[in-house]
Amino acid sequence: MESMTFILFGATGDLAKRKIYPALYNLFADGKFPSSFSVIGLGRREVPDAQFQSNVEQAVQTFSRRKPQDSAQMQQFLSAFRYCSLNVNHPEDYKKLLQLAEQREAELGIKSNRLFYLSVAPEFFDVIALNIQNSGLGHTEGWKRLIIEKPFGHDLESARELNEKLSKAFAEDEIYRIDHYLGKPMVQNLEALKFANPFLQDVWNHDYVANVQITAAETVGVEERAGYYDHSGAIRDMVQNHMLQMLMMTAMDKPAQVTASDIRAEKRKVMEALRPLTAEQVQNEIVRAQYGRGELNGKSLPGYKEEPDIGPDSQNDTFIAARVWIDNEKWAGVPFYIRTGKRMAEKSTRIVVEFKRDAADPYAAQGQPATPNLLVISVNPQEGATLSINSKNPMNGKLETVHLTFNEQNKEVPEAYERLIYDALRGDSTFFAHWDEVELSWKWVQPVLNAFQAGTVPLHTYAAGSYGPEASAKLLAEHGFTWWLDDALEQPESVTAR
């Protein structure tokens, strides 16, 4: 791997501490870093290098998936870190940064390959890109890349404006838009599950699939992020990016080759075929809700409006369920359901593919119809897949559902941020969000935002600790389906979809 300088905006922030430093350390410890590199951390506050290195060490000790044992190795890692105070709005600070970057490159005798990581509030993305360009930081002898965090815009227009500004400083193939769901092992594995297994490949279409359910349920509430979340809601925070990315990965057709550009092309086709919603359709196809008071594991929980810094009149959504259709030959007539919410009954991200029943089921006549085959891909916190099939119980001769399961138990599997940073260092953009995908996602979401804004979509309430409002179950019931839950998969006799 080529030597490089990793330039981190937002080096004193929460994301850097919890995700980025641990990821950098794990990559370093795994030998997945270039032999010569430096990291320059940036923020407004003044932090001496020694203090910065100590903060990084503390973050690694606290948040890394593995606890560093080897202090010499840790010292070697930390010795690459420098800090430079910089206000993103002050052009002269970028000159200071350029000097430091050049000085470090000269000290290490390395080429100016520069990776800029924007771990700061989104309103700074464009000014940083502009200053990188104007200061000369972006004029490198080697490569330059930009990793950018979400959110990428607040709506279609702002996303386009932002992209326009970024593209003045970075070409599309230099921009790595993080969607950390694309870094999750089972999301990355979808492609292999579908395309390396001919038996699945053959049934991955409307002839065999009855419906697909993509859920990202969280037990946490808004936490300390009221300022951001109350203006974003589940629709922007989760649906526009993570949920639609999982949809693309699930529904995309086989790429000509397993390369970034071919996969992108297939993902784009999914978004182009995603049926747009009219203002009227939004009311029928989207369920919007906010959590009220409730209980989880015996603990009382406040309603959203009672959370710190949330006003009593907030009309923000903390839950979205949607029924979407992909108008292409492969998926004609197959509803895809997506659902995400905070303060739900369990932390679980999963993709359930429900296969069609056999219209001539010979067991139905005997009063014991077969249950539908399901493929459940568990994304988070469990990682693995379960195929549920019907089998005859040798004790009583009755049909029962059995589960063929593989669980990824290996705790050494790199986390999403590790995988994504590693890919960016190697210049592999497969699991980053390409502009086409981002734009098409916003395009699909925009009428939904407009309808919310116009107040034409009711805001339901659900109890904290539940599976969402009744209306979400109705969305599936209209086509004779129910949401599949993990407990239903474990206890097939009492298949209860809520």
Ligand X SMILES: O=C1O[C@H](COP(=O)(O)O)[C@@H](O)[C@H](O)[C@H]1O
Ligand Y SMILES: NC(=O)C1=CN([C@@H]2O[C@H](COP(=O)(O)OP(=O)(O)OC[C@H]3O[C@@H](n4cnc5c(N)ncnc54)[C@H](OP(=O)(O)O)[C@@H]3O)[C@@H](O)[C@H]2O)C=CC1
13 is known to lie in a ligand binding site: yes
DSSP assignment letter at 18: I
Instruction: Confirm or deny that 90 is annotated as ligand binding.
Output: no
The count of other CB atoms within 10 Å of the CB of residue 346 is 15
Q: Which of 51, 87, 315, 391 binds ligand Y (CB under 6 A)?
A: 87
CB nearer to ligand X: pick between 274 and 379: 379
| Nearest Cα to Cα of residue 319 among 483, 441, 182 | 483
Give the phi and the psi of residue 220 in degrees, each rounded to 5. -70, 155
Ligand-binding site membership of 456 (annotated): no
Query: Could you identify the residue written with the tokens 């606290």?
Result: 62
| 380 contributes a contact to ligand X by CB under 6 A | yes
Which residue type does 353 have?
Answer: V
Residue span 10-29 as binding mask against ligand Y, x where in contact by CB under 6 A, dash where not: xxxxxxx-------------
Contacts (CB under 6 A) with ligand Y, residues 212-231? none
Q: Which of 23, 56, 60, 88 binds ligand Y (CB under 6 A)?
A: 88
Torsion of CA 51, 53, 57, 60, to 10 degrees: 120
Number of residues that bind ligand Y (CB under 6 A): 20
Instruction: Give the whole-angstrom CA distance, residue 93 versus residue 44.
Output: 10
| Binding of ligand Y by 119 (CB under 6 A) | yes
Residues 319-378 that bind ligand X (CB under 6 A): 349
Task: Return the residue of 149, 317, 437, 439 that touches ligand Y, per CB under 6 A.
Answer: 149
On whether 330 is known to bind a ligand per the annotation, the reply is no
Q: What DSSP designation does 20 have?
A: I
Q: Give yes or no for residue 218 binding ligand X (CB under 6 A).
A: yes
Q: Could you write out the DSSP letters of every residue in 211-267?
A: EEEEEEE-S---TT-HHHHTTTHHIIIIIIIIIHHHHHHHHPPPPSSSSHHHHHHHH
Check whether 384 is labelled as a binding-site residue: no
Spatial separation of the C-alpha atoms in residues 267 and 264, rounded to whole Å: 5
Nearest-CB residue for ligand X: 237
What is the Cα gyration radius of the chain?
A: 24
Residues 6 or more apart in contact with residue 422 via CB below 8 angstroms: 27, 32, 414
CB 483 within 8 A of CB 475: no
218 binds, among ligand X, ligand Y, none (CB under 5 to 8 A by kind): ligand X
**Is 237 among the annotated ligand-binding positions?**
yes
Residue 124: CB atoms within 10 A of its CB come to 16
Residue 441 is classified by DSSP as H
Q: Which partner in ligand X, ligand Y, none is near 401 (CB below 5 to 8 A by kind)?
A: none
- Residue with the closest Cβ to ligand Y? 13
Other beta carbons within 10 angstroms of residue 26's beta carbon come to 23
Query: To the nearest whole angstrom, how small is the minimum distance from the Cβ of residue 181 to ligand Y?
Result: 11
Residue 347 is labelled as binding a ligand? yes
* Omega prior to 381 cis, within 30 of 0: yes
Site for ligand Y in 34-53 (CB under 6 A): 43-45
Choose among 160, 435, 437: nearest CA to 272.
Answer: 437
Quickly tell me which residue has 């080759």 as its tokens: 257
Nearer to ligand Y, 10 or 221 (CB): 10
**Token representation of residue 374:** 């399901």
Two tokens at 43?
């923020």
Residues in contact with 424: Cβ distance below 8 Å, sequence separation at least 6, in sequence order: 115, 145, 147, 176, 432
Question: Which tokens in the block code for residue 429?
Answer: 């953009």
Q: Is 434 a catalytic residue?
A: no
Among 456, 445, 452, 451, which Cα is nearest to 157's? 445
CB 116 to ligand X: min, Å: 21
Q: Give which of ligand Y, ligand X, none residue 153 binds (C-beta under 5 to 8 Å, depending on kind).
A: none
| 407 interface partner picked from ligand X, ligand Y, none, CB below 5 to 8 A per type | none
Of 90, 242, 460, 479, which residue is the catalytic one? Answer: 242
What's the min distance (Å) between Cβ of 317 and ligand X? 12
Nearer to ligand X by Cβ, of 110 and 464: the residue is: 464
The contact mask relative to ligand Y for 120-139 (x = CB under 6 A, - = no) is: xxx-----------------
Residue nearer to ligand Y on the CB measure, 10 or 469: 10
Tell me which of ligand X, ligand Y, none is bound by residue 131, counting a contact when its beta carbon lies within the kind-specific cut-off of 5 to 8 angstroms: none
Least spacing, CB of residue 10 vs ligand X, in Å: 15
| Window 230-249: residues binding ligand X (CB under 6 A) | 237
Is 17 annotated as a binding-site member? yes
474 marked as binding residue: no
Q: Which residues are annotated as a binding site?
A: 10-17, 44, 150, 180, 184, 218, 237, 342, 347
Q: Which residues are annotated as a binding site for substrate?
A: 180, 184, 218, 237, 342, 347
In the complex, the residues that contact ligand Y under the rule CB under 6 A are 10-16, 43-45, 86-89, 119-122, 149-150
Residues with a known catalytic role: 242
In the complex, the residues that contact ligand X under the rule CB under 6 A are 216, 218, 237, 349, 380
